[in-house]
Structure 1
């Protein structure tokens, strides 16, 4: 699971990009209970759960913790990715970033980031293993590969690979009621139960940013 122990390679920050911050705040306020603070960050119960950056189309960008952002950018390029300012792109086209700052105040609680999926048409995870030294593991009975920060235990798994023709990172946010959240948004994947994981749905915001909501079995 995600924690606020932002060791190198762990998800440390997430930005929502879009053309209308106030409209985004209203939408995510209904769906995830967020508020917008004076710094332009999204909060839940006074704790920062996401940032916001102006962008023509809606998109979520996850950032991974590093000790040296410049060196991480060099590693991205050396491994076949690309760097354009704060935005990096893996060889398959999925956007992400690196983070050498204080991370999110809360994860894995209602209204906060709780899981990630790397959607990729090919073996996208090998790039990230090179750049971030992730441990990549398989789980008996579960499809695909899962990943965690290097040298951490089974309890630090934070994401999985999903085969998809369009490369992107899909963030999931913890909620107390998946069906209620889905009822306040356009639904891409209707709510369903995933054995051993919880209840899940995939939604899209008014500007095209896709995200998932999850009621974890352990929450």
Structure 2
């Protein structure tokens, strides 16, 4: 991240604090997500290949990069959890029978790890400049992530041990059961959930973290995504947190948009 954006995008221990898309051709997602989510793009350090930041107002809300030619990775969004120590978190991943794919690696904004939990869901770990959790009440910002997995309780135990959820300040940090999900809350609002795959979910998908971006109107975003060359995974529906549409970008990256309840 550039020095201007690094000051705004802070690593918050134990909670999701960044999302990044690895695409095949950077021009394709920028042409799609720019008009859909109101993003502008700014160049970012490209030590590992072309990379830009998606910006709403003056806030960097996501990163978009290009997969290495030899990686063979699918186009996908990755959610990153903050940590005080990438090394300690990586050790905890190994000790609990999960997979380390990349890192820890040093880059401009700190140190990063890519891993997969025991069920195979990919996630990132980021050790960076510390900050306090806050929710960006901006259209186009990521406002929610949700793990779709066969056993959310086993997953909650795994992530809870890796990120020490039980040892955090209960005044600022809470894990609870609501709306048939294990929900992670910080600073008084929900930031993530772990849910069993349900009817209406993306059929045939392996366990994965789903990223939700805020939009004023999920139904309008669904129609716009199709016009921009994306595809619709299913009809828009009402969830306990707002109206949701699940979409796929032109290169196959899956994500969701949500019109949050007031």
Judge same fold: TM > 0.5, yes or no: yes
Instruction: Give the alignment partner of residue 126 of structure 1, picking from 157, 171, 175.
Output: 157
* Counterpart check, 1:190 vs 2:235: yes
* Counterpart check, 1:18 vs 2:14: no
The offset of 1:5, in angstroms, is 7.4
8 Å Cα contact 1:173-1:212 kept in structure 2: yes
Match of 1:29, SS state, is: helix
Q: Which moved more, 1:55-64 or 1:97-106?
A: 97-106
Give the TM-score normalised by structure 1: 0.86
Of structures 1 and 2, the larger Rg is shown by 2
**Take 2:65 and 2:211, find their aligned partners in 1: how far apart are those partners?**
16
* Counterpart check, 1:213 vs 2:213: no
**Take 1:53 and 1:5, find their aligned partners in 2: how far apart are those partners?**
19
The offset of 1:73, in angstroms, is 0.7
Counterpart position of 2:146: 117
* Counterpart check, 1:137 vs 2:176: yes
**Take 2:249 and 2:12, find their aligned partners in 1: how far apart are those partners?**
30
CA RMSD of aligned residues (A): 2.2
Instruction: Give the alignment partner of residue 199 of structure 1, picking from 230, 236, 243.
Output: 243
Give a deviation string over 1:142-175, Cα, whole Å, max 9, x none: 2132123xxx46x232122222362100010111
8 Å Cα contact 2:56-2:138 kept in structure 1: no
Instruction: Give the alignment partner of residue 62 of structure 2, picking from 41, 44, 50.
Output: 50
Match of 2:237, SS state, is: strand
8 Å Cα contact 1:47-1:106 kept in structure 2: no
8 Å Cα contact 1:191-1:201 kept in structure 2: yes
Q: Which moved more, 1:32-41 or 1:60-69?
A: 32-41
Corresponding pairs, count: 208
**Take 1:101 and 1:5, find their aligned partners in 2: how far apart are those partners?**
7
8 Å Cα contact 1:35-1:42 kept in structure 2: yes
The offset of 1:46, in angstroms, is 2.8
8 Å Cα contact 1:31-1:181 kept in structure 2: yes
Counterpart position of 2:101: 84
**Take 1:157 and 1:22, find their aligned partners in 2: how far apart are those partners?**
33
Give a deviation string over 1:128-149, Cα, whole Å, max 9, x none: 011112343112xx2132123x
The offset of 1:27, in angstroms, is 0.3
Give a deviation string over 1:57-105, Cα, whole Å, max 9, x none: 3101111111111111111111221112131110000001111124899
**Take 2:175 and 2:206, find their aligned partners in 1: how far apart are those partners?**
22
